[in-house]
Structure 1
Amino acid sequence: MHNPQGFATRAIHAGYEPNKENGAVNVPIYASSTFAQDGVGGLRGGYEYARTGNPTRKALEDNLAALENAAYGRAFSSGMAATDALLRATLRPGDHLVIPNDAYGGTFRLIDKVFSQWGIEYSVAPVTDPAAIRDAIRPNTKLVWIETPTNPLLNIGDIAAIAEVAHAAGVKLVVDNTFASPYLQQPITLGADVVLHSTTKYIGGHSDTVGGALLTNDEQLDADIAFLQNGSGGVPGPFDVFLTLRGIKTLAVRMDRHSDNAEKVIDFLSTHPKIEKILYPGLDGHPGHDAAARQMKRFGGMVSVLVAGGREAAEQFCAGTQLFTLAESLGGIESLIELPAAMTHASTAGSLLEVPDNLVRLSVGIEDSTDLIGDLENALR
């Protein structure tokens, strides 16, 4: 097959061609823990043991690499497993990294509670300010780690500008691209060294599988990641991989619908007296709007709001919806609502990354927008 250029075409076809023996259009689920060898060391297709490699997983890795314009891809059992592998592949005791001052709570918890015990140091800086990131870099800094948009404040980092700052200091740039998905943003083309995904979210898209991925053009870094992927074993099973590949096929159409619905929800919320502020990079007044417009195709389905009346009012809002399910996670076809301060970001309480206690995060799904708006209207009464 020639190399397709269109994103939706790559999402459907990259990484797998119909089976030559029976014509199966979808990649098979290779539910085998081991693979027969033609003599000692005679591997068929390079496969020996499913932790080391699996044909279904290889199809996903190749597909994701194609979507992120990367040479190499590695799939993991969760986004946090991918995060852990990348940190261990790039950091040693005494090293330092820079993280956003509003990083995902799980990322912060892993670095602050686990890696700090092994002599890893970190500093926080606003992802919105490349100069502040430059100032946070030390002689022992090895990574600048950003999210854009961030979770849950939806701040925007200028990937190209931050890549320039990091590379000038001889530091690698990691971009967590989970909120945007590769359909809306491809950080490697903007200078990032590594892209991280929780494929649980928009890539899988159906809230039925957990996974993670790392994508890079750096051959040595990929080799280091692959060593840990095999050596530590945080790999996804073939059924989860199959579901993730199934989800990717509709990523383009889903992301457009998520974005459409988010914009309609924002139109409603923008005039509601019980909403103090809307955080969404698609708004002209958002401080990161210009950077987002340069590097994103659209602005996505994640919306955060500050609710008038404080924590109690925010909790009542979360409890009052019916179509917006009160639950953690995001990026599925169904709409979700949560209170980050008490749920996904509880680990940041009392730290520099603490989130406002009246902040409500919406993952706007692909239902009929009129129904979603009606649900929010009822909950805010």
Structure 2
Amino acid sequence: MGSVKKEKVIRTGVNTRVIHHKENFSKETGSVMPPIFPTSTFVHGNEGGFDYTRSGNPNFRILESVLSDLEECQFACVFSSGVAAITAIVSSLKAGDLILCEENLYGCTVRLFEQVFNSFGLKTLWVDFTKSNFKEVIAKHKPALIWIESPTNPLLKIIDIEAICNFSNKMQIPVVVDNTFATPLLQRPLKLGATLSLTSTTKYINGHSDALGGAICTESTAWKEKLNFAQKALGLNPSPFDCWLINRGIKTLPLRLERQINNASKIANQLAENPVIKFVRYPFRNDHPQCKLAKKQMTLGGAIVTAALNTSQAKTFSFCKSLRFFKMAESLGGIESLVCHPATMTHASVSKETKLKIGITDSLIRLSVGCENIEDLIADLNQALESIS
């Protein structure tokens, strides 16, 4: 018998892959853009194997296909929000289990762990994963799950994902990495050994501040089954329309992110020279405490800039309100620039003592840098700084 000729697999670039994705359910019509499937139920025995939208929909599958391709992994599961994605993971645990957390996490993650799941018997322990004793902490407490962000929200701490995963994997402890700030374009947690890579697709993945969503990527078949079960059993599914919007947004992710990062790095350097600014945190600036690790772990520094002002909370608020192009609002990652006051906004539910302990002060601001002209953004920041100096 003659040998079977193998088809050559050509690996295309990321810009091409987010535009020309595998599944679009458009074969019969020739539609260039995938349609929206706003149906709640499906006729039994259909080719796609769909039965009820809570447990699957063509728009879910399209977005999952794009996200798993972007992350270069086997599986992705989509949810109605980032918080829903967190809920899906934690719902797989049982009373008495311990989650070992980086002390600086997204405020809503903290609230969910401390004020919701705590009442169901789940325990949390908060540690600074930038310190060298994390191995001793893991070995001592043997948590059911390790939960980290990198860069963290809002302090932009860089956590050594590979070092943590190398140690925890030997102990068979799953590691969750919230990759929302970096996106798969800048950082691949699964390639660094993480079990689950979580993202709020509301943010950079969608990029237009008009849809809510969350997603979890993994190489684990067992975790994929757990996530699918949670999506269906707990009603954590997204809407077909939101998935369609997010899939549309992801097509411009590389273009948007390139502009946003370029703007952010220039803004970080500009702010650092202003006497009203106490300090600036940006992962690729040499004065960042984990700059060397950031450049090893990430391809670029991202589009979030955190800074502390040499002022009171009242003047910090005045600064935020004086900005024209940086709207004072929750969220991040959209094409528009936003300014956030973490102490009273994203981390309002965190106790004052904890905020002060980890460094979320009343003078701290977080800038989500958008796609506007850099000259306009810098002029806007300068006039607001002058107004409080």
Q: TM-score range by the shorter chain?
A: over 0.9
The worse-fitting range, judged by mean Cα deviation, of 14-23 and 239-248 is: 14-23
Q: Which of residues 93, 102, 122 in structure 2 aligns to 1:120?
A: 122
SS in 1 for 2:16: helix
Q: Are 2:40 and 1:33 aligned?
A: yes
Identity of aligned residues (%): 41
8 Å contact kept, 2:25–2:58: no
Shift of residue 139, structure 1, vs aligned partner: 4.7
Shift of 1:259: 0.5
TM-score, scaled to structure 1? 0.95
What residue number does 1:360 align with?
Answer: 365
Aligned residue among 360, 363, 369 for 2:374: 369
Cα separation, 2, equivalents of 1:361 and 1:137: 34
Which stretch of the first structure deviates more once superposed, 233-242 or 367-376?
233-242
Give the letter aligned to residue 327 of structure 2. T
Equivalent residue, structure 2, for 1:16: 23
**1:15 touches 1:60 (CA, 8 Å); kept in 2?**
no
Aligned: 1:193 with 2:195? yes
Q: Which among 334, 337, 343 is matched to residue 336 of structure 2?
A: 334
CA distance in 2, matches of 1:191, 1:320: 44
CA contact (8 A) 2:279 2:309 kept: yes
In 2: Cα distance, 1:18 partner to 1:48 partner: 16
SS at 1:141's partner residue?
A: coil
* 1:195–1:215 Cα contact (<8 Å) kept: yes
State the match for 2:280 in structure 1.
278
Cα distance in 2, alignment partners of residues 3 and 246 from structure 1: 24
Kindly state the Cα deviation for residue 285 of structure 1 after the two structures are TM-superposed: 1.6
Q: Provide the C-alpha distance between the structure 1 equivalents of 2:19 and 2:100, rounded to a whole number of angstroms.
A: 36
Q: What does residue 62 of structure 1 align with?
A: 65
1:152-301 matches, within 5 Å, as 152-301=154-303
Separation in 2, partners of 1:357, 1:137: 36
The two structures have a TM-score, normalised by structure 2, of 0.93
Structure 2 CA distance for aligned equivalents of residues 134 and 27 of structure 1: 50
Instruction: Tell me how far apart the structure 1 counterparts of residues 170 and 133 of structure 2 sit (CA, whole Å).
Output: 12
1:341 is paired with a residue whose SS is: coil
**SS of the residue aligned with 2:241?**
helix
Kindly state the Cα deviation for residue 267 of structure 1 after the two structures are TM-superposed.
2.2
Q: Aligned-pair distance for 1:134?
A: 4.0
Deviation at residue 133 of structure 1 after TM alignment: 5.4
The residue that corresponds to 2:52 in the other structure is 49
Dislocated runs of 4+, deviation >6 Å: none
The letter of the residue matching 1:369 is I
Q: Which runs of 5+ in 1 are unaligned?
A: none
Who is 2:145 aligned against?
Answer: 143
Decide whether aligned partners of structure 1 residues 238 and 165 sit closer, same or farther in structure 2, where only a CA change above 3 A counts: same
Over the residues paired in the alignment, what is the CA RMSD in angstroms? 1.5
Alignment of 1:310 onto 2:312: yes
Change (3 A) 1:365 1:327: same
CA contact (8 A) 2:268 2:281 kept: no
